[in-house]
Amino acid sequence: MKPIYTLGIFALASALGASGAFGQTESSNRVAANTAWSVFVETDPKECWAVSTPKESVNTKNDRPVAVNRGTILMMVSYRPDQNVMGEVYFTGGYPFADGSSVELTISGTSFQLFTQGEDSWPATPEDDARIITAMKRGADAVMVAHSSRGTKTEDTFSLLGFTAAVEDAAKRCDN
């Protein structure tokens, strides 16, 4: 089972502000911004993230748009050298996912499945993480489609502008 981010998510959510917009709130652990992506670093233990919020979110129920209250929505790639994690893809949808569901991530026509636990989702293996990161470096957008425990379908679109620079910066900052 992959680790659940708690301290890191709260720090990132705080830094990104309630609206999710970059730049509205400053954080002591935000070290760089690359178009749609930012880099965050924690020192104890050493952790680095390339992080983005969606540029668009569409929520539907029974194929009709609905207004819903969601928490922080983030897509990130993390580096935790103390745990030998160097490039782990992670998505939090801002709500509890439906039990037994998966999140479908699509980049340039290629789909990947992420397993879910609570509000968190990850690829199943480090090899899947690597394939997704490679696709993200080549793509323009990443689209996450998921289902909430209340039956809402969500589609979050993340720009990949600045992704390569941010993920390479985060990796370098956490290289032992």
- What digits encode the pLDDT tens for the residues 91-138? 999 999 999 999 999 999 999 999 999 999 999 999 999 999 999 999
pLDDT at site 44: 87
CATH superfamily for 7-173 is Invasion associated locus B (IalB) protein (2.60.40.1880)
Q: Which residues contact 36 (CB under 8 A, 6 or more apart)?
A: 22, 52, 55, 158, 159, 160, 161, 162, 163
> What mean pLDDT do residues 37-43 have?
94
pLDDT of residue 19 exceeding 50, the answer is no
Name the pTM for this structure. 0.86
Instruction: Round to whole Å and give the CA distance between 50 and 63.
Output: 33
Q: What pLDDT shows up at residue 4?
A: 45
What pLDDT, on a 0 to 100 scale, did the predictor assign at position 94?
A: 95
Whether the per-residue pLDDT at 16 is higher than 70: the answer is no
pLDDT of residue 2: 53
Domain ranges in the chain are 7-173
- pLDDT for the residue 17: 44
**Left if phi > 0, otherwise alpha if psi is -120 to 50, otherwise beta: which for 159?**
beta
* Per-residue pLDDT, 48: 96
Check: CB of residue 110 under 8 Å from CB of residue 86.
Answer: no
Task: Please tell me the predicted confidence (pLDDT) of residue 145.
Answer: 98
